[in-house]
Amino acid sequence: MSAYANQIPLDKGRTPLQEFPAPIVAKARYDGENASASSVISLTHDTTSLEVAAVGGPAAIKWIATSDTTSSVYTSSTIAGAAASSINFDHVVGTGTVRRFVIPKETVNVPINSVVGVNRREGLYQRVAIKSVGIASVLTIEF
């Protein structure tokens, strides 16, 4: 397994600071409010992790494959009376919480003979769909 995600910070005694985010600046930021449909975000070439905050209600996210041109997040609030088979999401962020995610691998990394970011080089997912569940805001940051 390759180590592609940003490291967590260490204190002066080299002890990992588990509850602290990596000491890096965000690559991109998104703010979705009261979304009845999901937003599909194309990640930057250097994105290895996401931070998702659900404000006022929960949020759902789904990793979208490069080959998938129509996918989105569907929750029970997306379609009235939705059948369990039509609901598709990979993670839920609870109301009033912030979660960090390391971008999972979509494909086996293939040596690339050009200059590319770590996201592409490692074969990570390049897109993610995010949706608030009900009336809420979702703040997303790429690292």
Per-residue pLDDT of the chain (143 residues; tens, 9 = 90+): 578 888 888 899 999 998 887 788 888 898 877 666 778 899 999 999 999 999 999 999 999 998 887 777 765 555 444 444 556 889 999 999 999 999 999 987 666 667 788 898 889 999 999 988 888 899 999 99
Domain membership flag for residue 13: no
pTM equals 0.80
Separation in Å, CA 107 to CA 100, 103, 125: 21, 12, 8
Q: Is 126 exposed, middle or buried (0-12, 13-18, 19+ CB in 10 A)?
A: buried
Domain membership flag for residue 50: yes
Domain membership flag for residue 112: yes
CATH number at residue 41: 2.60.120
Domain membership flag for residue 44: yes
As for how many domains the chain has, the answer is: 1
Residue recorded with tokens 């599909």: 40
- Residue 119 dihedral angles phi and psi, to the nearest 5°: -60, -50
Residue pair 125/106 in contact (Cβ under 8 Å)? The answer is yes
Domain membership flag for residue 71: yes
Domain membership flag for residue 102: yes
Residue pair 101/24 in contact (Cβ under 8 Å)? The answer is no
Domain membership flag for residue 9: no
Domain enclosing residue 112, as ranges: 28-142
Domain membership flag for residue 8: no
